Structure 1
Amino acid sequence: MKQARSRKKGDFFKKLKLSTRMSLFLGVITFLFLTALLYYLIHSFEITIDKKIDDNLSDKAKTASSGFESVVSNVESISDNLLYGVQMILSASPETPGAAPVNPWKIATAEGEEPEPTAPMGPVTLRSQIVNSEISYSKHVGEVFIVNSIYSLLEGNPDVIGAGVLMEPNAFLPNVRDYSPYMTQSSKKEMVLTNYQYEDIADEDYYQTVKESKSKYATNLYTEEENGEKYTEMTFSNPIIVNGEFKGTIITDVNASVLSTIHQKDENFPSMFTNVMDEGGVIYSENPNFNGRALKDILPEKAMSQIQSGFDTGKAFSRKIVNELGVEKREFYNPIDLNGRLWWVRLSITEADYDREVDRMVNMGILFGVLCVIVLCIITTVIIRKSLKPLKLVSDAGKKLSNGDFDIAFNYKREDEIGELMQAMKSVVDHIRTIITDLSEKLTELSHGNFAMNLEDEHGYYHGAYRPLLNSLKDITDDLSNTVSEISSSADQVNNGAEQVSSASQSLSQGATEQASSIEELSATMNDISDKIKDTALMAEKASSMSKDAGAAVSESNDKMNELSLAMQDITEKSNEISKIIKTIDDIAFQTNILSLNAAIEAARAGAAGKGFAVVADEVGNLAQKSAKAAQNTGELIAEAIDAIAKGAKISDETAVSLQNVSERTTTINRIIKDIAAASESESEGITQISVGMDQISSVVQSNTATAEESAAASEELSGQAQILNDLMSKFTLK
């Protein structure tokens, strides 16, 4: 059953038209090629899109970081302005409380005049607004500056919860240990300042750290409660250094709500969210479920290990993780350096959002590729069928030739490969038609007995495989001419003998009355007649033998023509096999040329990156064209050979028929010669009887006349047969 199905499948493909096979083959090749190309392009596109998305999300993380850094920078700028004023106050020359204020400034009133100070003030006694103590005028001015600056800072920055200037003991006022004014947003409204005791601040992280490092410091996020309301905040501490000595610090408590500036949105990524993590990994998030929690307490151990490896680099990074809910996420982290402490901005989206754009583009690419394959297959099928349609004319011409119909019209005006094929077919048909006409004329002359006709190839018709046809015709004509010549010679001898017998019989009849006296002479004459008859019999036998030889030669020629026909059929079958192979090569060359054109087009689209591939595609196309041209030329030569052999086979069949006719006529001649031989034998027997009865001649003289008449009649008959043979021989024109 499997073999039967395999045969049926093979027969199905064999029965397909060439255009259908070529369309299927090119369609499959094109589909595979475009599928591979599409896979490569989609894979490359996916990598490019992934990189662009990564860059986009990294930029968003950087943008979020920039927003946070902007807030920090603003706070530090305000703190620095306050710091410069405080440093100037602490650097001023000391004054005694109650003394006249010293004005260090000089006023320039006009150009060219020396700047002069204003008139000095009288002694004045001032008390501090923060501690219960007398202070000098310069300290009073400094204190006013500090309070007003804190007020302005809070008034202009609602996200700042509170601010203050925390001093070391006796740093601002002699003999005043606790001088640390601090104001909050709520106390600002009531004009209330809090003066912290030194013990309250000395051990705080934001104070102790800057005291030791003498550099700016930002705390991690922490939670404070004020007036029954909880705040998540962070503190920026800016140390006051005068002449290398730590005098205190300016603190600014910032509400963590300012971190909302880092929030990023993108309609393409609805799952996107951002938050900030301090150095300890504590998260500030608008989601209360995550706000204030450490990242390591939220994510699974494996995901946290992946992210920790990025933290260790200290640079921006991204990771693909599976979160605590089993959801695949893409997270991007960007570092923020807060005075030596590394904070991180975290941007997170789901893997589904990350891949959505890529999947959409990939699906569009697949759809476009499939449509291209379908359209290309349809166009290829239409073009191939239209291009191969003229080959039906060649097929019809071949069928007519096989039926002996040479009335073929080749109406194809284009000068392409099919046009060349049709011109070649027309040339072959014309050539065969010319050869058939010439052979027909020669055989007609031969059938009329003209063996002396001119059999030379004066017009050059018989070249190549056609030459043996003319040579065989020459050999047959020569053999027939020689045979007929010998038969004619034998007929002349028989006729002469018959005339002699007839003359003798007449003499016998006339001299019957003289027989008695001329028995001896008659006996001698009979002996001569007997010898002549024997000679005639021998000649007839010889003629019969030669006629048999001629018949054998004709039969052998006929066998050779049959062998020639079989050889031509075998050559035709082999040539057809070669033609199929050449056609396959031509198909492969044509398909290779199409592939090289497609490759060249794709290489051209690739630009500079595809130049090398374009050169290779061009060389492959040139080789395909050369292979197609060579296969076409070889196919044309084989087609011409097949047609010539077919015509030669037909001619050989017709020649065999002619030889059969010659063989039949030779048989007729042979039969006539046998009749002559039989007549000669009868005469010989009669003469023998006459010789035997010579002794009785005297008693049978009366019967001599009858015998002579019979001999005369036999001689007349023999003479008539000889005349008939001569008439037949006269029809032949011998060389």
Structure 2
Amino acid sequence: MKIFNSLQFKISMVIVVPFIIMLIISNLFNIFSVNNVTKKLSYKVLEESAKGEAAKVESLVQEAFDSLNTFEYTINNLYQSGERNREVYKNTTKNFFETLPEGTGALFLIFKPNVMGNDVDYINDPNYSEAGGMFSDYVYRNNGTSADRGMTSEELKSDYYSVPVTTGNINITSIYDFEVGGKMVKMNTWSIPLKNKGEIIGVAGVDIFIESLAPIMDNINPFENTLTSLFDHNGTLLYNKENESYIGKNVYEAYPYYRDNNVLESIKAGQTVIFEDFSTSLNTKSAYIFVPIKLETGQNWGMKILVPNYVILEDSNNIRNIMIIILAVILVIVFIITPLIIKKKVVFIIKLLAQDLTKLSKGDISWDTPPGFTELKDEWGDIARAIKSILDNLNNVMNTVKESSEQVESAANEVLSGNNDLSNRTEMQASSLEETASTMNEMASNVKFAVSDIYDSTNMVVEAKDYVGKAGRIIEESVNKMDAVYEASSKIMDITKMIESIAFQTNILALNASVEAARAGEQGRGFAVVASEVRNLAQNTQESVKNITSLIVDSNDKINLAAASVNESKDIFNDIADRMDKVSDLMQKVNIAAKEQENGIGQINIAINEMDSSVQQNAALVEEASSSSQLLLNEAKNLNKLIDFFKLR
């Protein structure tokens, strides 16, 4: 099942399936069109073949009429020459009959009453007695020879005599049964009027054996398995290869479904009829074509040619089969070639792209696009160039971010170390101030309770002077440290601003990377997650830096206040130092100045307490700065860890 889930199979199906559907539809349309065209062409060929065969039959029928016309012409010449000898006419009829084909069963000649002028002389003649002496001669075949006789009164009442005499038109009778040589045969009679100077003087005619049409019709075989039929102007079947028992029946009686196609009416109108139907004789769907055969009488016989569809459509079926074979070959070629082309031109490249994007999802951006792909002029070239640009930009950005984060980490380490040192010194300063405060309290107590003891006071003054000098130095040192803290805080602010700028640029680059990853679709999802994490870290770093900056600004404000207080204390201590220098000179006035000294010591006490409070505040600020520095250091380390996820060039 793996092959069905492969990209090669899916892309091949996307291309091959619509192509196959269009190819099949096109071929079906072509096959249908070719079938229609070849069917029409085959039907046209069938129609022309049928018309050609009908023309042959018509020619043979016309030969029979020509023979009859020749006989009529010969008789008219005899009559017009004044010949009235009946034996001459009988011999002429017999001799002419012997020239006719075997299919002609009889030749007869009849003159109307008294046309010969001697009918009364033959009233008792056995050959003419039944006709009242009028001339009639019927020459027929009898066991391979010809014989003749006169015609009966009943025969003279038949259509083949009465119709030409009364209408002056050629007449062809319907089929009838007649005994010849002791057996019944089917025949019809063709007769034409004899005219002299426009007046009808008699009738000449022939009897045609219907079975004589069989050899002619049997030779009509334009296609394999062709069945033919022949019927006269009344629709009576003269020949029927399908079923000979239908001969003599009307076509509508034998084949009722012919009526649905108006076969007989169309033939009488001289029109060709073509239709398709299932043939029980051929046991298959077949083409029926009926063509008229024009007779000299102005009437039309009809000839049917029945051909199986599989015969007339054989070429069409062969073309269809060839087209199906070609289609199958094309389908096989498409199924084989298309996946190979897709594999070489698409899947192979996508596989390389997937491998490279997998590296990218794992943070490896040290690779480069495969050689030659960036020179391609198609979409693959565009993708390769875009990926190369992404890799170059990512490497540049990540290298820059890495360098910046390392600098931030180093600076944070320095700030943290400085803050820790400042914290320790601030604690020492606070301890010293506590000692100074305690000493000053003790000194105040001694001044208050030992004014009388000058020596002790002098010693205390000396001691106080020492402590004041020491406190002055501590205060001066505190001022210097505060200045250093302020300068370090300013540097921290510069560093945090640089970190904030880097975090902002990192955020923008991460956003751009997310957009490019989204454009890459499914393959860029892993990189999109990494880019999103980098962006979140950059935003957190930026927020933390803003908080640190705010804290440092607040710390600087407080340090400035503490510095002012310490400077003030320094001035006070300097003043105390000056005063203590004069104490030795003013010991004599100690009693007078004791009160003032007590007040001065009280002020010093207040100043030291205030200094102690400021130092405690400084210690708290230094602690906060240390905590912020530690947070900044941790964030910088986390950023470095995230950056270390990427394998750079």
Structure 2: how far apart are the matches of 1:25 and 1:442? 50
Structure 2 matches for 1:660-679, cutoff 5 A? Answer: none
Aligned mate of 2:202, from 241, 248, 261 = 248
Query: Counterpart amino acid of 1:162?
Result: A
- Does the 8 Å contact 1:162/1:253 carry over to 2? yes
Structure 2: how far apart are the matches of 1:358 and 1:441? 81
Residue in structure 2 matched with residue 86 of structure 1 by the alignment: 75
Q: TM-score, normalised by structure 2?
A: 0.64
Residue in structure 2 matched with residue 316 of structure 1 by the alignment: 272
- Does the 8 Å contact 1:432/1:647 carry over to 2? no
Query: Counterpart amino acid of 1:335?
Result: P
Residue in structure 2 matched with residue 66 of structure 1 by the alignment: 55
Residue in structure 2 matched with residue 698 of structure 1 by the alignment: none
Query: Counterpart amino acid of 2:293?
Result: I
Aligned mate of 1:305, from 249, 257, 260 = 260
Query: Counterpart amino acid of 1:425?
Result: I
Structure 2: how far apart are the matches of 1:426 and 1:43? 54
Aligned mate of 2:293, from 326, 336, 342 = 336
Q: Does 1:196 align with 2:151?
A: yes
Residues 60 and 323 of structure 1: CA distance in aligned 2, closer, same or farther (over 3 Å): same
Aligned to 1:36, what secondary structure does the other structure show?
A: helix
Residue in structure 2 matched with residue 214 of structure 1 by the alignment: 168
Residues 259 and 534 of structure 1: CA distance in aligned 2, closer, same or farther (over 3 Å): farther
Query: Counterpart amino acid of 1:81?
Result: T
Structure 2: how far apart are the matches of 1:412 and 1:268? 70
Structure 1: how far apart are the matches of 2:155 and 2:333? 81
Aligned to 2:304, what secondary structure does the other structure show?
A: strand
CA drift of 1:412 comes to: 3.9
Residues 372 and 257 of structure 1: CA distance in aligned 2, closer, same or farther (over 3 Å): same
Residue in structure 2 matched with residue 593 of structure 1 by the alignment: none
Query: Counterpart amino acid of 2:49?
Result: K
RMSD of Structure 2 on Structure 1 (CA) = 5.8
Residues 238-274 of structure 1 show CA distances to partners (whole Å, capped at 9, x for unaligned) of: 221111100112212222234231336669642x310
Unaligned runs of 5+ in 1: 1-8, 98-127, 131-139, 450-476, 502-513, 584-638, 696-735
Residue in structure 1 matched with residue 96 of structure 2 by the alignment: 149
Structure 2 matches for 1:169-184, cutoff 5 A? Answer: 169-175=113-119, 177-184=133-140
Residue in structure 1 matched with residue 618 of structure 2 by the alignment: none
Residues 39-72 of structure 1 show CA distances to partners (whole Å, capped at 9, x for unaligned) of: 2112212212321332233233323322221111
CA drift of 1:313 comes to: 5.3
Residue in structure 2 matched with residue 30 of structure 1 by the alignment: 19
Structure 2: how far apart are the matches of 1:273 and 1:318? 15
Residues 615-647 of structure 1 show CA distances to partners (whole Å, capped at 9, x for unaligned) of: xxxxxxxxxxxxxxxxxxxxxxxx9x9999988
Residue in structure 2 matched with residue 707 of structure 1 by the alignment: none
Structure 1: how far apart are the matches of 2:543 and 2:363? 21
Aligned to 1:330, what secondary structure does the other structure show?
A: strand
- Does the 8 Å contact 1:558/1:659 carry over to 2? no
Residues 75 and 530 of structure 1: CA distance in aligned 2, closer, same or farther (over 3 Å): same
Residue in structure 1 matched with residue 380 of structure 2 by the alignment: 418
Structure 2 matches for 1:644-683, cutoff 5 A? Answer: none
Unaligned runs of 5+ in 2: 122-132, 434-454, 584-589, 591-649
Structure 2: how far apart are the matches of 1:266 and 1:56? 13
Structure with greater Cα Rg: 2
Q: TM-score, normalised by structure 1?
A: 0.57
Q: Identify which range, 177-186 or 422-431, moves more after superposition.
A: 422-431
CA drift of 1:222 comes to: 2.3
Residue in structure 2 matched with residue 275 of structure 1 by the alignment: 229
Structure 2 matches for 1:591-630, cutoff 5 A? Answer: none
CA drift of 1:534 comes to: 4.8
Structure 1: how far apart are the matches of 2:143 and 2:117? 24
Residues 412 and 534 of structure 1: CA distance in aligned 2, closer, same or farther (over 3 Å): closer
Q: Does 1:394 align with 2:353?
A: yes
Residues 570 and 284 of structure 1: CA distance in aligned 2, closer, same or farther (over 3 Å): farther
Aligned mate of 1:166, from 99, 107, 110 = 110
Structure 2: how far apart are the matches of 1:544 and 1:31? 82
Structure 2 matches for 1:581-596, cutoff 5 A? Answer: none
Residue in structure 2 matched with residue 224 of structure 1 by the alignment: 178
Query: Counterpart amino acid of 1:422?
Result: A
- Does the 8 Å contact 1:428/1:644 carry over to 2? no
Residues 525-558 of structure 1 show CA distances to partners (whole Å, capped at 9, x for unaligned) of: 7557646645654775686688679779977987
Structure 2: how far apart are the matches of 1:293 and 1:83? 32
Structure 2 matches for 1:537-556, cutoff 5 A? Answer: 537=478, 540=481
Residues 312 and 283 of structure 1: CA distance in aligned 2, closer, same or farther (over 3 Å): closer
Structure 1: how far apart are the matches of 2:501 and 2:259? 98
- Does the 8 Å contact 1:572/1:645 carry over to 2? no
